Amino acid sequence: MTEQHYEVAFVGAGNMGEALIRGLLQAGHTAERIAIADARPEQVEALQARYPGLATGRAEDLAGSSATLVLAVKPQTLPELAPGLRDAVAIGAPLVLSVAAGITTRQLAGWLGPQTRLIRAMPNTPALVGAGVSGLYAAPTATPEDHATATRLLEAVGRAIWVTDEEQMHAVTATSGSGPAYVFLMIEAMEEAARTLGLPSETALELTLGTLAGATRLATETQEDAAELRRRVTSPGGTTERALQVLEDGDLRGLIRRAMQAAADRSRELGD
C-alpha cells in the first residue's frame, strides 16, 4: 500500500461529485485532503474556484494515493475507465465507493480486482442542498470500518440507508435515485394547473412548493401513515374527494408503479 495523500478522491466532478465535496467541506473536512479528476478541465477549474484548495490529478494517480476513491461518473463510462485504474487500486488499496447506477459490485470487482473493498451508493439530487437520501450496499470485501466511512461520507449530504441484498439497489434507484424527478414533474403539473385556474405564476409556484414541502414534513414528523393522512384531509362529498377520484380513475397508482418498474428495469440493463 502506498502513502495515502488524500482522504477522499473523486473520479468525476459533476453535480453529485460536487454535492459530496460540498458536504464534506461543510462537515469540517479540509479541501487539501480532497482531490478531483475529471475529463473536463473547465469543470475542475470551476470547482477549484468555488472550493479553494481542492487538489487535482489523473484518475490513476488519485486511485493509488487516496483512502477512499469515489467513482462519480456515468455508468456507461465505467467499462472503459475502471480497468485502467486496476493497478493503482491494487497498490493504493483504497475503499472504492461507486455512485454509478446499475453497475454491480461483481462488475466492479472484475474491472478493479477481486480484492477491492467495494461499496455501492445511490445518492439523489437533493444532496445538492444537504437533503439527500442514499441507499448503500457493501460487497463482502468491505470492512466494518468501510461501512462507517461510507456512512459518514453520505451523511454529509443527507441520510444513508443500507440494504443487505444488492438486488435491492435497483429498487433504491427507482425510488430515491429517480424519485426527485417524479416530484419535480408533480410540481410542474400542479403549477401549470393552478395557472390554468387563474392564479398568477408566482402565486401558483409558491402555493405548490409550500404544499408539497408541508405535506412531506407532516408525513415525516407524524406517527400516522400516508393513507391515514390522506383520509383525514378528505371530507366526504368535499373538494379533495372529488379531486382524488379523478386521480384514482386515471390510475395514478398504476402509473407510478409502472414508472418505477421501468426505472428498476433500466438499472438492471445498465448492469448487464
CATH no. for 179-270: 1.10.3730.10
Domain with CATH 1.10.3730.10 in the chain: 179-270
In which band, very low, low, confident or very high, does the pLDDT at 2 lie, cut at 50, 70 and 90? low
pLDDT at 125 exceeding the cut of 80: yes
- The count of residues in the chain is 272
> Are the C-beta atoms of residues 105 and 132 closer than 8 Å to each other?
no
Domain with CATH 3.40.50.720 in the chain: 6-172
Domain 6-172 has CATH 3.40.47.40: no
pLDDT at 241 exceeding the cut of 60: yes
> Are the C-beta atoms of residues 241 and 234 closer than 8 Å to each other?
yes
pLDDT tens string 100-114: 988 999 999 999 999
Which residue matches cell numbers 418498474? Answer: 261
Secondary structure class of 39 (helix, strand, coil): coil
Q: What is the pLDDT of residue 149?
A: 95
Full DSSP string of 172-234: HIIIIISHHHHHHHHHHHHHHHHHHTT--HHHHHHHHHHHHHHHHHHHHHSSS-HHHHHHHH-
From the list 20, 270, 2, the residue with the least C-alpha distance to 132 is 20
pLDDT at 20 exceeding the cut of 80: yes
